[in-house]
Amino acid sequence: MPAEDPATGGAAARRRRGRTASGIGEAGRTLVAVDIDGTLLTWGGKLHRSAARAITRALADPRIELVLATGRSVHSAMTVARRIGFTAGWAVCSNGSVTARLGPDLPGGWEVAHSVAFDPAPAVAAIRRVFPGARLAVEDVGHGFLVTGRFPEGELDGVVTVVDDERLAAAPVTRVILRETDLDPALVEELVAAMDLPDVAYAVGWTGWVDLNPPGVSKASALEALRLRLGVDPGRTVAIGDGGNDIAMLRWAARGVAMGGARPDVIAAADEVTRTIERRGLARVLNNLP
């Protein structure tokens, strides 16, 4: 795995960003990055009433710059945005490879403001040496996915087209997805960590799902670029998440919050742990921002 993205910082970088004793700077807007699956929504897609109310209040507060930060594709993230009434602002999608701007003045209500792509061919070749029968997918930004085999029902949305490896790897992409349903997720993570991957960033999910992104790209790198664009003080950044792809942004934020029930490595990356979704974990954080 590549060296940690400089945007994630770690403790020393957080001190350089001027954290106060409470972890948040004293004045100005607060950028609050919220993961979707396992944080805003349950893994079954349920939006709890407490989270919905807290999000509505946050969106109405001019002191809060709410950002959805997700591994989901941009079109999938926009579906969630419409569901929660998020019509103007920003979303970091595909684990940082795609940043979208939302606005009522835009066709369809959103546009891709920035994206980063890479050549998938070396990664696909490396994967095939270890996972010859795995399903692979690449994202067709804003539309859907090219896949080498059908994914489990409900895991991909948009237009899904089955292709061979050659077509899958024929052009630069924002993300390669490895899906291995026949192996234990822990074994998949172990095999991926031992692979001779080309220079890419990767995040391992809960169920044998691995995202490969361009080198140096993560939720953290995209959020840092957005923070600079919006002029938010680095000490006024909050990130809330629960998965392996959230570790970088939890370390990046002045206040990183792991959801209750998150993996041990996610909790270790955070400054604090809130409750689970079912016990109003997200609402407790959003309703108690300084």
pLDDT tens for each residue of 36-84? 999 999 988 999 999 999 999 999 999 999 999 999 999 999 999 999 9
Q: How far is CA 23 from CA 19, 26, 83, 247, in A?
A: 5, 10, 31, 17
| 70-79, 145-154, 178-187, 254-263: least confident range | 178-187
**Cβ contacts of 29 within 8 Å, gap of 6 or more:** 62, 63, 64, 65, 230, 232, 236
Q: Hey, CA dihedral for 123, 208, 70, 201, is it positive or negative?
A: negative
pLDDT confidence of 86, banded at 50, 70, 90?
very high
Pair type for strands 209-213 and 176-179? antiparallel
- Whether 25 shows a pLDDT value over 80: the answer reads no
- pLDDT, one tens digit per residue, over 211-265 is 899 999 999 999 999 999 999 999 999 999 999 899 999 999 999 999 999 999 9
pLDDT confidence of 24, banded at 50, 70, 90?
low
pLDDT at 273: 97
What mean pLDDT is predicted for residues 13-27?
A: 43
pLDDT confidence of 26, banded at 50, 70, 90?
very low
pLDDT at 157: 87
Name the β-bridge partners of 114. 99
CA distance 89 to 102: 5
pTM: 0.87
CATH class of 121-213: alpha beta
| Radius of gyration in angstroms for the set of CA atoms belonging to the chain, rounded to a whole number | 18
Name the β-bridge partners of 22. none
pLDDT confidence of 171, banded at 50, 70, 90?
very high
Q: Which residue has the higher pLDDT, 99 or 130?
A: 99
pLDDT at 159: 94
pLDDT at 27: 57
Contacts 24+ apart (CB under 8 A), 128-135: 128/165, 129/195, 130/191, 130/192, 130/195, 131/178, 131/180, 131/191, 133/182, 134/178, 134/179, 134/180, 135/178, 135/179, 135/180, 135/181
Of 287, 250, 256, 290, which Cα lies nearest the Cα of 56?
287
Residue 150: other Cβ atoms inside 10 A: 11
CA distance 270 to 256: 5
pLDDT at 229: 97
Q: For the domain with range 6-14+27-116+217-286, which CATH number is right: 3.40.50.1000, 3.30.70.560, 1.10.3290.10, 3.30.70.3290?
A: 3.40.50.1000
Domain boundaries for CATH 3.30.1240.10 within the chain: 121-213
Q: Hey, CA dihedral for 148, 149, 150, 151, is it positive or negative?
A: negative
- Whether 174 shows a pLDDT value over 90: the answer reads yes
Residue 161: other Cβ atoms inside 10 A: 14
Domain boundaries for CATH 3.40.50.1000 within the chain: 6-14+27-116+217-286
CA distance 282 to 189: 28
pLDDT at 206: 64
